[in-house]
Chains A and B, each alone.
Chain A
Amino acid sequence: MAKYLLLKHYRGAPEAVNSIPMDRWTPQEVQDHIQYMNDFAARLESSGEWVDGQALSPEGTFVRYDGEGRPPVTDGPFAETKDLIAGWMVIDVDSYERAVALAGELSAAPGAGGKPIHEWLELRPFLTEPPTVTE
């Protein structure tokens, strides 16, 4: 088994095919989209491949250490050009091919006009623990 992170972006990913923002869909289209996402997560749980899923607020700040006895420096909110993560799913699957297939399914979530969004999702393998058997 291998763990993968499926990253969804508010911005920074290539433009989706069906990129009309959600508040301009019909209420039914919004509903159908949410249902699709819930069903997708439920299916992964029942197949034993679900690990975690979280959504992030678009608000954020950069923070760094600024030396002994000084408060940390903050910089933000993020500049408009910055890659902005919207949320993630962590899956635990048998193969890279399975991870790609699942990401493809998630990207097919319906959007405006009930048509797939074709959103670009970022698929990132986790670095794993070293194996016990090494030769």
Chain B
Amino acid sequence: MDEPLLRELTPAVIGVLVRRGADFATAEDAVQEALLAATLTWPGEPPSDPKGWLVTVAWRKFLDGRRAEAARRGREQRAETEPPPGPAETTDDTLQLFFLCAHPSLTPASAVALTLRAVGGLTTRQIAQAYLVPEATMAQRISRAKRTVSHVRFGAAGDLATVRRVLYLIFNEGYTGDVDLAAEAIRLTRQLSSMTGNAETAGLLALMLLHHARRPARTRPDGSLVPLAEQDRSRWDTRLIAEGVTILQTALARDKIGEFQAQAAIAALHADAPRAVETDWVQIVSWYDELLRLTGSPVVQLNRAVAIGEADGAAAGLAALATVDPTLPRRTAAAAYLHEKAGDLPAAAQLYAEAARSAPNLPERHHLTRQAARIRQTLRG
């Protein structure tokens, strides 16, 4: 059973149905039913033209649905004629679906869910598992999202920036359930990037590849976190790094800088260092300067302070940290790190313990608690 192929064909098949006059919400449901039918029948009888098969079955499901609805209303059944296929603008249709599913009228959670289903071809159950919510809740979220975009004309101009934001959210969500959301986000971003040839979208793809490359080294078998400096870099995926760097360089050469390209440049500089001590922190700081100029984000300010601590010493890092909003998540953890680096172990232990209490997830809490414990052990001698 070729699930990747099915998922890849999903948006194109929805596109065909919409071009034949189906509304998006009904077309999407019909295609999901066709995907289900494919998983049942393809293992026994693989079709010679998978896309044609899906279009035929989805269209039949669509007509069945419409007939059932017409019958419910007690009207005459419509003639069952299959119109000729519309123009084969697959790439365009898929791009239109990206725009529709990330439409600015949707909340981020709804846009993520709708994108994963209509563009990604995932089932509602898979999406629900990935986001740890009941399937009925996710089904409701998706159908509300479809209603929200029902007024949007298929083919209306879309905003690439909102699509990128949605794909970034999917990538960043983590790895729960049996669907690898990071890999799925990479697949969709790759597709988007090849369709648009846009520098920032390429930057986002490079960023994802460079971070995904570190995944084997980022957690221990027991699920605990390994900080960047302590990761076994021989376990980084060099193929993904090479691809990410190449994509990034091509994007940067176009001289249309954006935040994802800047973030990818920082990730690439980490990837370039065979050992943590060989990291080019001076260049990293200059990329953080660029990123701060582009975004003005306090999170960037925080990361920049840590990078300054590496480039110019802990005192400079602490000075940069002093200007960061004290209520920002993870600021205390950064302060702990810089205090330890400055040799102030009692303050570092205190701050690590405090940071552990406000950590946003258990692996981070455990990591920070261990740091506090490690320093206190040193202090006890």
Contact of A31 with B358 at beta-carbon distance under 8 Å, contacts A23-B352, A24-B376, A38-B223 already known: no
User: Which of B349, B369, B374 gathers the greatest number of chain A CB atoms within 10 Å?
Assistant: B369
* Interface locus among A51-59, A88-96, A115-123: A51-59
A19 at interface by CB-CB < 8 Å: no
A30 touches B222 (CB 8 A): no
B360 touches A57 (CB 8 A): yes
**Cα distance A31–B366 when bound, in Å?**
9
A34 touches B373 (CB 8 A): no
**Cα distance A59–B332 when bound, in Å?**
15
B377 touches A26 (CB 8 A): yes
- Which residues of chain B come closer than 8 Å to A21, judged between CB atoms? 353
B358 touches A23 (CB 8 A): no
- Which residues of chain A come closer than 8 Å to B373, judged between CB atoms? 22-27, 29-30
A12-43 CB contacts (< 8 Å) to partner B:
21-27, 29-31, 34-35, 38
B224 at interface by CB-CB < 8 Å: yes
Contact of A27 with B377 at beta-carbon distance under 8 Å, contacts A57-B358, A58-B357, A59-B358 already known: yes
CB-nearest residue of chain B to A29: B373
B277 at interface by CB-CB < 8 Å: no
**Cα distance A38–B349 when bound, in Å?**
26
**Of the candidates B224, B360, B362, B369, which one forms a contact with A22 in the assembled complex, judged by CB atoms under 8 Å apart?**
B369
**Cα distance A24–B176 when bound, in Å?**
32
Contact of A31 with B370 at beta-carbon distance under 8 Å, contacts A23-B353, A23-B356, A55-B362 already known: yes
B163 at interface by CB-CB < 8 Å: no
B372 at interface by CB-CB < 8 Å: yes
| Per-residue contact bits, chain B 351-381, to A (CB 8 Å; 1 contact, 0 not) | 0110011101010011001101110110000
Contact of A34 with B366 at beta-carbon distance under 8 Å, contacts A23-B372, A26-B377 already known: yes
CB-nearest residue of chain A to B354: A23
How many residue pairs at the A-B interface have CB separations less than 8 Å? 40
A38 touches B222 (CB 8 A): yes
Interface size of B by CB at 8 A reads 20
**Cα distance A57–B357 when bound, in Å?**
8
Interface secondary structure of A, over-half rule: helix
A110: shortest Cβ distance to chain B, in Å? 14
**Interface residue tally of chain A, by bracket?**
10 to 19
**Cα distance A63–B98 when bound, in Å?**
39
**Cα distance A30–B352 when bound, in Å?**
14
CB-nearest residue of chain A to B376: A24
**Of the candidates A27, A38, A58, which one forms a contact with B370 in the assembled complex, judged by CB atoms under 8 Å apart?**
A27
A23 touches B222 (CB 8 A): no
**Cα distance A27–B349 when bound, in Å?**
13
**Cα distance A27–B224 when bound, in Å?**
13
- Which residues of chain B come closer than 8 Å to A35, judged between CB atoms? 222
- Which residues of chain A come closer than 8 Å to B377, judged between CB atoms? 26-27
A47: shortest Cβ distance to chain B, in Å? 21
**Cα distance A55–B369 when bound, in Å?**
15
**Cα distance A23–B362 when bound, in Å?**
14
User: Which of A23, A25, A59 gathers the greatest number of chain B CB atoms within 10 Å?
Assistant: A23
- Which residues of chain B come closer than 8 Å to A57, judged between CB atoms? 358, 360
B369 touches A23 (CB 8 A): yes
- Which residues of chain A come closer than 8 Å to B349, judged between CB atoms? 23
Contact of A30 with B369 at beta-carbon distance under 8 Å, contacts A23-B352, A35-B222, A38-B222 already known: yes
**Cα distance A126–B114 when bound, in Å?**
35
**Cα distance A24–B356 when bound, in Å?**
12
CB-nearest residue of chain A to B352: A23
CB-nearest residue of chain A to B377: A26
- Which residues of chain A come closer than 8 Å to B352, judged between CB atoms? 23
**Cα distance A11–B223 when bound, in Å?**
27
- Which residues of chain A come closer than 8 Å to B357, judged between CB atoms? 58
CB-nearest residue of chain B to A58: B357
A101: shortest Cβ distance to chain B, in Å? 25
Q: A22-B373, A23-B372, A24-B373 are in contact. List 18 more A-B contacts (CB 8 A).
A: A22-B369, A23-B349, A23-B353, A23-B373, A24-B376, A26-B373, A26-B377, A27-B370, A27-B373, A30-B366, A30-B373, A31-B370, A34-B224, A34-B366, A35-B222, A38-B222, A55-B365, A58-B357
Please list the residues of chain B having a beta carbon within 8 angstroms of any beta carbon in chain A. 222-224, 349, 352-353, 356-358, 360, 362, 365-366, 369-370, 372-374, 376-377
Q: Can you report 5 A-B residue pairs in the complex whose CB atoms are below 8 A from each other?
A: A23-B349, A23-B369, A26-B377, A34-B222, A35-B222
